[in-house]
């Protein structure tokens, strides 16, 4: 064997020894890893014993996230200082977990549920000031007061049907003369309307007058019987009395108006033959009229029969008509959602006539003071009424309330709120249902991911507006996020990373990352040359 061959063999043996030693050392290290207990997170051993050990500087999101992910049911959250009961997915209520993890139902982390928290705390959400500004959230205080003590309505005048009189024939006869010639003629009380000749009455009167001339026993009974036959023939007591007083046959009967008013209908003419029960004419009294106003069904409960009403009409300028609510008609207009209130108005001069437009102001009993909120703040879901209460720290909590009357843009609240609280007037879509609210809570309140692991997206965009550190862009569809083409706000990077003199209309290429609870943040951008004109 040559020296060169011996040297190669020795080198190979040395290499094998080195590899074996390395393998032995690595095996020992792995064996020690399997046999030695791994260091446990501080939270698992000390969180429930001494929360003061959890001192986490603000801004260290990654550290805080790591610690929170090590907490289990029964531990104390060092951030909130409250004991964790369990973890749950807000979008799948009823499923509880003992440790934090990614939800098996949704693409989100499980959310802790704390001891001593009620449904209101669990359902509250935190919205950053930037999101509040973008959503245009407005709030108003809950105040104490009473709604206006009157209801206004617009209506039309109609005849008071309770003052309508129908004049009918009491026997077969003939119309010899009419004192009214046409419908809507005005007549006074007691005025002659028509003269009728009734043959049957003549015979009854002659019989009575013949008995009246006789004397002797039993004549009085016969005369009483003759009077009874005149009444049965249809003669009025006044007509019978004229026959008895004058001692002459009253062949013609004058029909007079029992009330003052107008002839609303005229069914006969001179020379006509009338039969018993036949309607001759109808009279309508004008002393009072009806005004039927359309009252919103939400205000109908404010009115009671007998309430005082003041009415004005363009047809009678400068004059106010007094009256009272007679009844609320039991019918709701399906289109206008109104109920007709029938009001009886005094009409001494007869200036109010059917069809005339009137404006009514209806008094209602003085209402007791109660809590009031703007009607825009109340969300009626069909099963309940909800308002969004604004709390300190940008938190919003849905509260179920008992809503009462609504008048003039104000709604009475009888339960659920306290005076001085603030309610949201716009942006209530955040609580359109309990499920969407809890899902929104999870999305808004999750800790932001560490910058090193946050996924970034690239797209072209056009500047629409600039405002401080925010830019409004219009971008094409982004398939990775399943976003359509739309206009939205982005947070600008530091000024040192921005091109100079950015302005509306500039075309950009941007890289951005998502921020939970805030608008997307641009990590880099560059100006793109405008497209050449064709």
Q: Are 115 and 141 in contact (CB under 8 A)?
A: no
pLDDT at 88: 75
Query: Is 95 contained in some domain?
Result: yes
Residue 8 in this model has a pLDDT that exceeds 80: no
Question: Which of 445, 471, 486 lies at the terminal end of a domain, its last residue?
Answer: 445
Quickly state the pLDDT bin for 49 (edges 50, 70, 90): very low
CATH number at residue 380: 2.40.420.20
pLDDT at 495: 79
Reported in sequence order, the residue ranges of 93-216 that DSSP labels E, i.e. its strands, are: 96-97, 111-114, 125-126, 139-141, 143-145, 150-159, 164-168, 173-178, 186-187, 192-197
- Does 180 lie in the same domain as 71? no
Query: Is 498 contained in some domain?
Result: yes
pLDDT at 228: 87
Spatial separation of the C-alpha atoms in residues 72 and 98, rounded to whole Å: 6
Total domains, the chain:
5
Quickly state the pLDDT bin for 278 (edges 50, 70, 90): very high
Which region among 137-146, 150-159, 425-434, 472-481 has the lowest average model confidence (pLDDT)?
425-434
| Predicted confidence (pLDDT) per residue in 319-363, tens digit | 889 888 888 888 898 898 889 989 999 888 888 999 999 998 887
What is the sign, positive or negative, of the torsion defined by CA atoms of 485, 486, 492, 496?
positive
- Does 239 lie in the same domain as 177? yes
Residue with tokens 């939205």: 488
Query: Is 101 contained in some domain?
Result: yes
- Does 264 lie in the same domain as 187? yes
**More confidently predicted of 377 and 90:** 377
Quickly state the pLDDT bin for 496 (edges 50, 70, 90): confident
- Does 60 lie in the same domain as 30? no
Question: Which of 413, 445, 477 lies at the terminal end of a domain, its last residue?
Answer: 445
Query: Is 427 contained in some domain?
Result: yes
- Does 229 lie in the same domain as 265? yes
Residue 449 in this model has a pLDDT that exceeds 60: no
Query: Is 331 contained in some domain?
Result: no
Residue 59 in this model has a pLDDT that exceeds 70: no
Q: What are phi and psi of 443, to 5 degrees?
A: -70, -35
pLDDT at 515: 76
Mean pLDDT of 227-232: 86
Query: Is 334 contained in some domain?
Result: no
Residue 54 in this model has a pLDDT that exceeds 60: no
Domain that holds residue 488: 456-528
Quickly state the pLDDT bin for 99 (edges 50, 70, 90): confident
Spatial separation of the C-alpha atoms in residues 444 and 431, rounded to whole Å: 13
Residue with tokens 């309990």: 434
Mean pLDDT of 444-450: 46
**More confidently predicted of 126 and 145:** 145
| Predicted confidence (pLDDT) per residue in 302-319, tens digit | 777 888 889 999 988 888
- Does 197 lie in the same domain as 109? no
pLDDT at 66: 59
- Contacting residues for 55 by C-beta, under 8 A, at least 6 apart: none
- Does 3 lie in the same domain as 80? no
Spatial separation of the C-alpha atoms in residues 395 and 285, rounded to whole Å: 66
- Does 109 lie in the same domain as 131? no
CATH number at residue 267: 2.40.50.100
Quickly state the pLDDT bin for 265 (edges 50, 70, 90): very high
Spatial separation of the C-alpha atoms in residues 173 and 177, rounded to whole Å: 12
- Does 171 lie in the same domain as 261? yes
- Does 267 lie in the same domain as 170? yes
Torsion of CA 439, 443, 446, 451, to 10 degrees: 160
Tokens coding 39 = 């260091």
Residue with tokens 């036959």: 229
Q: Are 128 and 517 in contact (CB under 8 A)?
A: yes
Residue 229 in this model has a pLDDT that exceeds 80: yes
- Contacting residues for 113 by C-beta, under 8 A, at least 6 apart: 84, 85, 86, 87, 88, 96, 122
- Contacting residues for 18 by C-beta, under 8 A, at least 6 apart: none
Mean pLDDT of 163-174: 90
Residue 93 in this model has a pLDDT that exceeds 60: no
Tokens coding 122 = 């669990």
Bridge partner residues of 327 (DSSP): 342
Question: Which of 257, 285, 313 lies at the terminal end of a domain, its last residue?
Answer: 285
Residue 71 in this model has a pLDDT that exceeds 70: yes
pLDDT at 189: 92
Residue with tokens 């007679």: 326
Buried b (16+ CB within 10 A) or exposed e, 31-45: eeeeeeeeeeeebee
- Does 22 lie in the same domain as 56? no
The gap from C-alpha 254 to its chain's centroid, in whole angstroms, comes to: 63
Spatial separation of the C-alpha atoms in residues 173 and 239, rounded to whole Å: 15
Mean pLDDT of 29-47: 38
**More confidently predicted of 41 and 264:** 264
Quickly state the pLDDT bin for 167 (edges 50, 70, 90): very high
Query: Is 426 contained in some domain?
Result: yes
Query: Is 157 contained in some domain?
Result: no
193, with CB counted inside 10 A (0-12, 13-18, 19+), is: buried
Percentage of residues of the chain with pLDDT beyond 70: 74
pLDDT at 186: 92
Strand, helix or coil for residue 178 = strand
- Does 256 lie in the same domain as 201? yes
Task: Give the C-alpha distances (Å, rounded to integers) separating 163 from 71, 158, 160, 192, 311.
Answer: 84, 12, 6, 19, 20
157, with CB counted inside 10 A (0-12, 13-18, 19+), is: buried
CATH number at residue 489: 2.40.50.320
pLDDT at 157: 93
Radius of gyration of the chain (CA): 47
């Amino acid at each position: 064997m040559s020296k060169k061959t011996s040297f190669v063999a020795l080198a190979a043996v040395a290499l094998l020894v080195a590899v074996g030693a390395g393998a032995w050392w690595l095996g020992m290290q792995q064996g020690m890893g399997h046999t030695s207990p791994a260091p446990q997170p501080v939270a698992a051993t000390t969180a429930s014993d001494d929360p003061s050990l959890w001192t986490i500087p603000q801004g260290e999101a990654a550290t805080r996230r790591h610690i929170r992910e090590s907490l289990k049911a029964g531990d104390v959250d060092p951030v909130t200082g409250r004991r964790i009961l369990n973890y749950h997915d807000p979008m799948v209520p009823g499923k509880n977990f003992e440790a934090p993890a990614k939800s098996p139902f949704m693409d989100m982390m499980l959310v802790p549920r704390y001891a001593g928290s009620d449904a209101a705390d669990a359902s509250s959400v935190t919205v950053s000031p930037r999101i509040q500004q973008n959503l245009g959230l407005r709030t108003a205080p809950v105040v104490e007061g009473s709604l206006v003590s009157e209801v206004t309505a617009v209506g039309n005048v109609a005849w008071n049907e309770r003052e309508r009189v129908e004049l009918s024939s009491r026997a077969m006869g003939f119309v010899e003369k009419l004192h009214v010639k046409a419908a809507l003629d005005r007549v006074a009380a007691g005025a002659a309307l028509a003269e009728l000749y009734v043959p049957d009455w003549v015979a009854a009167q002659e019989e009575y007058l013949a008995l009246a001339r006789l004397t002797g026993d039993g004549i009085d009974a016969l005369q009483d019987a003759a009077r009874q036959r005149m009444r049965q023939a249809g003669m009025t007591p006044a007509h019978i009395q004229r026959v008895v007083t004058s001692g002459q046959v009253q062949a013609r009967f004058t029909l007079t108006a029992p009330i003052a008013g107008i002839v609303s209908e005229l069914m006969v003419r001179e020379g006509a033959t009338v039969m018993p029960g036949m309607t001759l004419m109808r009279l309508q009294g004008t002393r009072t009229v009806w005004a039927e106003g359309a009252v919103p069904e939400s205000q109908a409960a404010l009115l009671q029969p007998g309430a005082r009403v003041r009415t004005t009409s363009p047809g009678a300028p400068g004059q106010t008509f007094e009256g009272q609510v007679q009844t609320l008609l039991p019918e709701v207009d399906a289109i206008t959602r109104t109920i007709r209130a029938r009001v009886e108005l005094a009409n001494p001069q007869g200036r109010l006539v059917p069809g005339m437009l009137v404006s009514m102001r209806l008094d209602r009993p003085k209402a007791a003071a109660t809590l009031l909120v703007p009607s825009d703040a109340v969300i009626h879901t069909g099963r309940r009424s909800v308002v969004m209460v604004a709390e300190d720290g940008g938190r919003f909590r849905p509260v179920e309330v008992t809503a009462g009357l609504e008048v003039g843009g104000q709604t009475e609240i009888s339960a659920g709120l306290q005076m001085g609280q603030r309610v949201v007037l716009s942006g209530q879509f955040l609580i359109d249902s309990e499920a969407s609210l809890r899902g929104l809570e999870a999305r808004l309140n999750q800790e932001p991911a560490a910058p090193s692991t946050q996924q970034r997206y690239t797209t072209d965009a056009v500047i629409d507006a600039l405002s401080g550190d925010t830019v409004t862009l219009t971008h094409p569809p982004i398939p990775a996020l399943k976003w359509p083409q739309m206009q939205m706000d982005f947070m600008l990077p530091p000024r040192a990373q921005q091109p100079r003199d950015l302005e509306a209309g500039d075309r950009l290429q941007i890289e951005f990352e998502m921020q939970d609870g805030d608008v997307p943040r641009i990590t880099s951008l560059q100006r793109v040359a405008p497209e050449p004109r064709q």
